[in-house]
Amino acid sequence: MSVVGASPAVGLFCVPRSPPSNIPRFRMAVRSSAVSVAPILTKLKHECATPLPLLRHVADAMAADMRAGLAVDGGSDLKMILSYVDSLPTGNEKGLFYALDLGGTNFRVLRVQLGGKEERVIDTEFEQVSIPQELMFGTSEDLFDFIASGLDKFAQKEGEKFYLPPGRKREIGFTFSFPVRQTSIDSGILIKWTKGFAVSGTAGRDVVACLNEAMERQRLDMRVSALVNDTVGTLAGARYWDDDVMVAVILGTGTNACYVERTDTIAKLQGHDSSSGRTIINTEWGAFSNGLPLTVFDSDMDDASINPGEQIFEKTISGMYLGEIVRRVLLKIAEAGAFGDSIPEKLSTPFVLRTPDISAMQQDNSDDLKAVGSILYDITGVESNLSARKIVVEVCDTVVKRGGRLAGAGIVGILQKMEEDSQGLIFGKRTVVAMDGGLYEHYPQYRRYLQDAVTELLGLEISKNVIIEHSKDGSGIGAALLAAANSKYEHDF
Ligand code: BGC
């Protein structure tokens, strides 16, 4: 399916629902059984609680893990990857550039005509293509062939609004949103897949080479000038409009953060000079795990995942997993007999309940929680009365509150580390955190919990200086801007 000009964020914070549609629906009489549910709920709330001291511990541990990861490769859970992006867009960038974004259940292609300081973004066009699920488990060639062919089709539709001087190749900023050990601005080795991808033959390889080979097979004459993580693209895109942007965070299917670091604080930086004295570090914070409040539902989900023991922060706070954690809790409640005598088969299907579904349930303000009832029935087969619906909303809220607050603590950890190294330059002035991703965009309660945690941790005064701002779709333009900055051709910007 190809969506032209649609929002890329839609669908990005979930995995596709995969149960067969012909699963029989078992009717379940729902008794209001507060007695059997209460202990489960109480325990869940207790174990998911994120009081201020716990948040403080998480923020401190995040800052400490950042330092350890900057000292030496493998120094902590956080990989603290060098992005090779040492200068951010200035606004002077000019010309036609492409961006290709692979990071979740969709990939996006974009072209932009940049017009420098005066005209900025003259024109932009994009297409979004959903990735067939079998390709997420197939071979590297199949996945990259699919992407290159999508890019080819899109490039062929380039109209006259876009202009490239004769004799030049079209240049691409390639946003690849998985952990990559960058070897230069336009090359990098895939460390591992995340977010449910299990494509064979890519880990350990240069992903730009994989794309180049696929483009050659398509006879597509384009060149990758910059390979960037989505966080780095978002930071570059947001910085194009606002000089105070220092951090970028993605909260979508997966999660990650990057920030502007002083090169003199990076002990592991050897032989990499940065004329600006600054570079962007991709933290890969999804792998963080220190001091997180976890439940048996988290550990069971982790055990059943394709990457057990990995990406624990991501599994606690990101869109791919929140719905699944809720489903596991609801199953437990159903097994305790609290919802009736039988358990609908659908409720036992992993990942059937997606984060957009729990978000939709939490937006139901009606007295009888009618929407909660119908979403629950349609998706899990559970028939519910009002008290059962209230319990379900409480479960969603507990899991989402933990996620949002922990994400907020992670952000504070990064800001804290930056402030420690540059007293007053972060908390003493306006500092912007650019946010993107469907979870952040489409889940108001999550957003509020995140902001609350930041405010609680920093206090009212300092938190006034920290602006958490949605930077919608910034990563595509950001990648194109970085392609411009790293173009092999002479430009007058
Ligand atoms: C990946 C990161 C990415 C993040 C958000 C994580 O699973 O490891 O590289 O930035 O998802 O897309």
pLDDT digits (tens, 9 = 90+) for 433-442: 999 999 999 9
Residue 116 and residue 223 share a domain: yes
Which amino acid is located at 13 in the chain? F
* Arithmetic mean of pLDDT, 460-467: 97
| Cα(400)–Cα(112) distance, integer angstroms | 36
Residue 262 and residue 287 share a domain: yes
- Does the CB atom of residue 312 touch ligand 1 within 6 A? no
Residue 61 and residue 201 share a domain: no
Assigned domain for 344 exists: yes
277-311, pLDDT tens digit by residue?
999 999 999 999 999 999 999 999 999 999 999 99
pLDDT at 105 (0 to 100): 82
Residue 170 and residue 93 share a domain: yes
Assigned domain for 102 exists: yes
Could you tell me which residues are beta bridge partners of residue 278? 262
pLDDT at 30 (0 to 100): 43
CA trace torsion 105, 109, 114, 119 (10° rounding): -60
Handedness of CA 134, 180, 152, 234 (dihedral sign): positive
Residue 94 and residue 53 share a domain: no
366-405, pLDDT tens digit by residue?
999 999 999 999 999 999 999 999 999 999 999 999 999 9
Assigned domain for 480 exists: no
Nearest-CA residue for atom 9 of ligand 1: 178
Assigned domain for 234 exists: no
pLDDT at 87 (0 to 100): 85
pLDDT at 493 (0 to 100): 54
Residue 102 and residue 75 share a domain: no
**How far from each other are the two terminal CA atoms of the chain, in whole angstroms?**
38
Strands (E), 38-85: 81-82
Give per-residue burial for 278-294: e unless 16+ CB within 10 Å, then b: bbbbbbbbbbbbbbbbb
How far is C-alpha 154 from the geometric centre of its chain's CA atoms?
25
Residue 213 and residue 345 share a domain: no
Residue 96 and residue 57 share a domain: no
Residue 249 and residue 124 share a domain: no
Nearest-CA residue for atom 1 of ligand 1: 178
* Arithmetic mean of pLDDT, 100-104: 92
Residue 51 and residue 174 share a domain: no
Confirm if 467 and 238 have CB atoms less than 8 A apart: no
Domain that holds residue 322: 36-81+242-473
* Arithmetic mean of pLDDT, 178-203: 96
Tell the burial category of 245 from Cβ atoms under 10 Å away from its Cβ (0-12, 13-18, 19+): buried
What is the domain count for the chain? 2
- Does the CB atom of residue 231 touch ligand 1 within 6 A? yes
Nearest-CA residue for atom 2 of ligand 1: 178
| Cα(2)–Cα(20) distance, integer angstroms | 23
Nearest-CA residue for atom 3 of ligand 1: 177
31-65, pLDDT tens digit by residue?
445 558 899 999 999 999 999 999 999 999 999 99
Give per-residue burial for 26-56: e unless 16+ CB within 10 Å, then b: bebebeebeeebeebbeebeeebebeeebbb
- Does the CB atom of residue 95 touch ligand 1 within 6 A? no
pLDDT at 16 over 50: no
| Cα(268)–Cα(343) distance, integer angstroms | 54
- Does the CB atom of residue 98 touch ligand 1 within 6 A? no
Active site residue 230: yes
Tell the burial category of 319 from Cβ atoms under 10 Å away from its Cβ (0-12, 13-18, 19+): buried
Could you tell me which residues are beta bridge partners of residue 269? none
Atom of ligand 1 nearest to the CA of 314: 7
Which amino acid is located at 283 in the chain? T
Q: Which residue from 418, 364, 422 is spatially nearest to 389, judged by alpha carbons?
A: 364
**52-71 and 386-421 are packed helices; what angle lies between their axes, rounded to 10 degrees?**
50
Q: How far is the centre of ligand 1, averaged over its atoms, from the C-alpha of 288 (Å)?
A: 12
Q: How far is the centre of ligand 1, averaged over its atoms, from the C-alpha of 105 (Å)?
A: 12
- Does the CB atom of residue 416 touch ligand 1 within 6 A? no
Q: Which of 86, 145, 230, 397 is catalytic?
A: 230
> Looking at residue 148, which CATH number applies to its domain?
3.30.420.40
Assigned domain for 1 exists: no
| Cα(17)–Cα(356) distance, integer angstroms | 11
pLDDT at 4 (0 to 100): 42
Residue 55 and residue 99 share a domain: no
Nearest-CA residue for atom 8 of ligand 1: 178
> Looking at residue 371, which CATH number applies to its domain?
3.40.367.20
pLDDT at 22 (0 to 100): 39
Residue 200 and residue 150 share a domain: yes
406-418, pLDDT tens digit by residue?
999 999 999 999 9
Question: Between 447 and 5, where is the model more confident?
Answer: 447
- Does the CB atom of residue 250 touch ligand 1 within 6 A? yes
